[in-house]
Structure 1
Amino acid sequence: MTDLATEFTGHSANGAVNLRFPESEYRARLARTRALLAERGLDALLVFAQESHFYLTGFDTAGYVFFQVGIVTASEGLLTLLTRTPDKRQAEVNSLYDDVRIWLNAEGADPAQDLRTLLEEMGLRGGKVGVEYATYGLTAANGRSVDAALEGVCALEDASDIVRGQRLVKSPMELDYTRAAGRLADAATLAAIEAARPGAFDTALSGAAVTAMLGAGADMPSGGPLVNVGPRALFGRGIGGPRSIEQDDQVLIELAGSACRYHVVIEHTVSVGRTDPRQVSQMGVAIEALERIKEAAVPGERLGTLDDIHRSVLDGAGFQKARYAACGYALGCTFKPTWMDVPPMIYSGNPLVLAPGMVFFVHIMIPDTETGLVAGVGQTFAIGEDGHGVETFSTLPLQLWQAG
């Protein structure tokens, strides 16, 4: 079992001393990436997604909110990073990047031009280069700058799927971190439920959840917690401005535990004070849908089938107008602003074929605007081997929780 504080210390081939996975696992990921680049006829990949930096090299930073790019060539060669000064030392000792180049903040600075110079230096002029466009690590403005700077230098192609596709199936060690994240999510949820009482602010529940998970050694999750009280419990997103719990009320709790940036999300609904029998029935429908989805989540099945079940159960119970158009998404190692590791989303018609080691969060959300009641429940699970069912990363019971 992987400990939350595990680091594989000792000098790697490039001098890195602190990595969260054995160097051999990173090298295997890089080898698969280079093979995929060669298959696509690409000479290099421009890595802008922070998740890809972490997956391929171990590089962990928040610097992706500026301009930060890694260059992975299809042929064996140095791994090169272009970043800002505050990220330099982390890249040197916590990643497999061999060559760390710095662009400097200044009036009129254009790191895309620095990237152009770097690619020319690496002999990539006239080459075909893949770009990770579909990421929070490349803003629209920076993407336009890259396109403009490399016009006439390289032929660019969207290659956002090359690393993302690999990350869908988790390695044994990635699943160990996911199991640890599940334990953290359970502890955080229980802490939030215990704090749910009349007069308590929703922010107090969030604070209890975060304190519990961080006290147990978690990373700060890349989103949430989402704690919505009263009429807000029908919302599908968090909202600013504290709201206190009333004498007879409802609370929706959706949060993630995070271990080594790997996330497990769970969702539960709490009835504070008197419980409306209609909400109990509503929760029964949500739980039935979730359980049937887990039974159907087997290798070889299409991902869209899971949402077909979601729709069938809720529509059959009269909640067609209330339900969502999707019932979940992939999870893995993600950075702010979201724990959602998408694509893929779980929607009807999604053709992705399920395989062992894929991890998904499925939540059944029934916000009934006619009664003002909500039933929300969700779990994260991994697709198991044939005949073994899913592995669920939460031990909390599926029920309408009572508090206050």
Structure 2
Amino acid sequence: MSSRPTPPLATFPLAEYDARLARTRERMAARGLAGLLLFAQESLYYLTGYDTSGYVFFQCAVLPLDGPITLLTRRPDVAQARDTSTIDDVRVWYNAEDADPAGDLAAIVAEKGLAGHRLGVEFATYGLTAANWRAVEHALDGRATLVDASDLVRDQRLIKSPLELAHVREAGRLADLAMEAARQAAQPGRLSGEMAGAILSTTLKHGGDLPSEQPIVNSGPRAVYGRGVLGAHRLESDDQVLVEFGASHRRYMVCIERTVILGRLTDEHATMFRVVRETMEAMIGAIRPGAPLGDIDAEHRRVLDASGFGADRYGACGYSLGATFAPTWMDVPPMIYSGNPLIMQPGMVLFPHAMLGAVGSRRAVGMGHTVIVTEDGCEQLSRLPLEPLIA
């Protein structure tokens, strides 16, 4: 537990972080872990408030079962660690031809009396590359027993506290504002990038933050893509634009997906919109505490397959959201797929979405928005109707 007051730039009060650390140590003890090597930036943000992009280099925090947490990072992150996090002990490794941060980490492990003990490691994270893992494995070979503990903090993060949900709801408000700005920017002759710019500028103008991934704004035949693509494209008088993005408030992401139509709504598009709306309504109706996550995708498949669009649907229909860092706004696992046995609980934040991309005609319709699982169902964070957005 930190002896300092709440850091000036921390997202939450000190008591929130202390409670999270206490729960983490309880789980560590239950697994027989003497320490935890934290490589996931999301874990560091959750447990201490530490906010940085420095995880793209070698960075690790050592959390012992007893005693203070120690962060090993580069010099540019020292001030941010002290101003955003509850971490008092910050160690630095310097760039040099003979730099050996994995060796420095091994020295910290020994200093804390963790040598020879069982240590958990966060493997499933962008904060630990294969090259860095090989260096850590070599440096600690014979000095500690290393086991996968990627889920130890992640599982806790699935259930949001009331303080976290306040940021989630604010991100939901920003998402609606930004989607409306995107619709207004959708005019024939303009570049699709202007819609992405409207999304980002609106979010920032209203107090949000840059998202952990760029908006998806795919126009014309590119609307069938499930990912963003390079290059701005000129919008046409009769066009379709698949828009999906995450709005961020203190790194808590809320996603929304809609399809913007310029000009006339074709009969094919009208049919696709009707089917996707019915699918989303069935999926949202399946979100309730005590039910398995796979129930959502079971409804997704049931409605789309019965409609004749089964060949055009995706293999999963959403994912969990939380406080995330680049390169993605998805906070996974879990994904929402058929047969997923994870039980939904109040406080989970999910993004269910239904996407149809007709490969033959290149028509596309996507809809989705973020929900919070409640005691008796779910709270939908978007007020925008499940209808085409006509520009």
Q: TM-score, normalised by structure 2?
A: 0.98
Q: Is the counterpart of residue 394 in structure 1 residue 382 in structure 2?
A: yes
Question: In the alignment, which residue of structure 2 is the partner of 1:42?
Answer: 33
Question: In the alignment, which residue of structure 2 is the partner of 1:97?
Answer: 87
Question: In the alignment, which residue of structure 2 is the partner of 1:13?
Answer: 3
Question: In the alignment, which residue of structure 2 is the partner of 1:213?
Answer: 203
**Contact 1:189-1:209 at 8 Å conserved across structures:** yes
Q: Is the counterpart of residue 353 in structure 1 residue 327 in structure 2?
A: no
Could you report, residue by residue, the CA deviation over 1:24-44 in whole angstroms, capped at 9, with x for unpaired residues?
A: 110000000000000000000
What is the DSSP-based 3-state SS (H/G/I as helix, E as strand, rest coil) of the residue aligned with 2:123? coil
What is the DSSP-based 3-state SS (H/G/I as helix, E as strand, rest coil) of the residue aligned with 1:329? strand
What is the CA-CA distance between 1:241 and the residue it aligns to?
1.2
Structure 2 distance, partners of 1:178, 1:224, is 19
Question: In the alignment, which residue of structure 2 is the partner of 1:3?
Answer: none
Q: Is the counterpart of residue 224 in structure 1 residue 208 in structure 2?
A: no
Could you report, residue by residue, the CA deviation over 1:57-100 in whole angstroms, capped at 9, with x for unpaired residues?
A: 0000000000110111112x111100000000111122111210
Structure 2 distance, partners of 1:21, 1:72, is 20
Structure 2 distance, partners of 1:279, 1:144, is 51
Could you report, residue by residue, the CA deviation over 1:151-209 in whole angstroms, capped at 9, with x for unpaired residues?
A: 11110001000000000000001111000000111111111110101111111110111
Match of 2:122 among 114, 121, 132: 132
Task: Return the letter of the residue paired with 1:70.
Answer: A
Question: In the alignment, which residue of structure 1 is the partner of 2:155?
Answer: 165
Structure 1 distance, partners of 2:188, 2:246, is 25
Match of 1:72 among 49, 63, 71: 63
Task: Return the letter of the residue paired with 1:343.
Answer: P
Structure 2 distance, partners of 1:373, 1:49, is 39
**Contact 1:79-1:96 at 8 Å conserved across structures:** no
Structure 1 distance, partners of 2:129, 2:378, is 37
Question: In the alignment, which residue of structure 2 is the partner of 1:382?
Answer: 372
Task: Return the letter of the residue paired with 1:293.
Answer: M
Gaps of 5+ in 1: 1-11
Q: Is the counterpart of residue 204 in structure 1 residue 194 in structure 2?
A: yes
Question: In the alignment, which residue of structure 1 is the partner of 2:242?
Answer: 252
Task: Return the letter of the residue paired with 1:326.
Answer: A
Task: Return the letter of the residue paired with 2:131.
Answer: A
How many residue pairs align between the two structures?
Answer: 389
What is the DSSP-based 3-state SS (H/G/I as helix, E as strand, rest coil) of the residue aligned with 1:19? coil
Structure 2 distance, partners of 1:182, 1:198, is 28
What is the DSSP-based 3-state SS (H/G/I as helix, E as strand, rest coil) of the residue aligned with 1:90? helix
Question: In the alignment, which residue of structure 1 is the partner of 2:352?
Answer: 362
Could you report, residue by residue, the CA deviation over 1:375-401 in whole angstroms, capped at 9, with x for unpaired residues?
A: 100010011103xx2111111111011
Give the percent of matched residue pairs that are identical in Structure 1 and Structure 2. Answer: 53
Question: In the alignment, which residue of structure 2 is the partner of 1:280?
Answer: 270
What is the CA-CA distance between 1:277 and the residue it aligns to?
1.3
Question: In the alignment, which residue of structure 2 is the partner of 1:62?
Answer: 53
Match of 2:103 among 113, 117, 121: 113
Question: In the alignment, which residue of structure 1 is the partner of 2:260?
Answer: 270
Gaps of 5+ in 2: none
Q: Is the counterpart of residue 315 in structure 1 residue 305 in structure 2?
A: yes
**Contact 1:85-1:104 at 8 Å conserved across structures:** yes
Question: In the alignment, which residue of structure 2 is the partner of 1:149?
Answer: 139
CA RMSD of aligned residues (A): 0.9
Task: Return the letter of the residue paired with 2:338.
Answer: S
What is the DSSP-based 3-state SS (H/G/I as helix, E as strand, rest coil) of the residue aligned with 1:18? coil
Question: In the alignment, which residue of structure 2 is the partner of 1:26?
Answer: 17
Q: Is the counterpart of residue 234 in structure 1 residue 224 in structure 2?
A: yes
What is the DSSP-based 3-state SS (H/G/I as helix, E as strand, rest coil) of the residue aligned with 2:310? coil
Structure 2 distance, partners of 1:103, 1:88, is 11
What is the DSSP-based 3-state SS (H/G/I as helix, E as strand, rest coil) of the residue aligned with 1:339? coil
